Amino acid sequence: MTRSKSGLLALVAVLSSVVGSCLQAQVPPGTTYQENIHYTVIENAPVTTGGTVTVVEAFSYMCPHCGTFEPYITSWLGRKPANAEFKRIPVVFGRDSWELYAKAYVTAEMMGVADKAHAALMDKIWKEKQVMKSMDELANFYAGFGVEAGQFLATSSSFAVDAKMRKDQQYVQNAGVRGTPSLIVGHKYLVAGNDAVPNYDVMLDVVNFLIAKDTAEQAAAAPANKAPDSGTTGGTATER
């Protein structure tokens, strides 16, 4: 084995060990993933700190692939690293039907029922083949999860929902999302299906790899506590 390959494998081992036992679905030993092959780096991404790694699923209820992906992401959520924070953003791509469902999701998110209703809505569309074509129908659907339909409708047309929609669409556009489902890790890595990421198991392995990578990068960048200077008395170490 060459020194460069040995060093690369050592780096992978270090990244994988950062999250320890929390990373139950680790990539296979010796596996690594490469920028611009398995994932892309998002330009002008914000610097993340604090040890938490946000994973965003860019999806649409109108995307059949997202319906297929749902059990995979649900399974992953049960074993994700403890420091990974998951959220969803519904994308629009300029399509009216996608925008309807995106607005319904954001409304449900603001009313606290988006996660509770998510799998049921996917099943209604892709297993029961029942597509709702108006916000009234969607309001009645979400009423089954503890919200009042009239309040749902009023919220869906609010400035707050509109602002959140615009902010979310700007976020996925800046991330370079071109298809669904896509996953954004740490606000700076984009993972999408391609020849090198041929299935959802590999996609989630890449996500786990990037969570470990981002965790290690955050730890390396964190300010260290400086010991008190010799001869000083009392006080605490200062941070730099």
Alpha helix (H) residue ranges in the chain: 3-18, 64-77, 96-110, 114-126, 135-143, 149-156, 159-175, 200-221
pLDDT for the residue 224: 57
- Which residues of the chain fall below pLDDT 50? 1-27, 225-228, 230-240
The neighbouring-strand residues paired with 197 are: 194
Residues in the chain: 240
Given the candidates 3.30.365.10, 3.40.30.10, 2.70.150.10, 3.30.70.100, the CATH classification of the domain at 21-212 is 3.40.30.10
Q: What pLDDT does 28 receive? A: 53
pLDDT, residue 32, reads: 85
Distance CA 102, CA 162 (A): 11
Residue position matching structure tokens 């009023």: 154
Residues 87/54, Cβ–Cβ less than 8 Å: yes
**How many CB atoms within 10 Å of residue 208?**
25
Neighbours of 166 (CB within 10 A): 10
- CA-closest candidate to residue 119, choices 77, 85, 162: 77
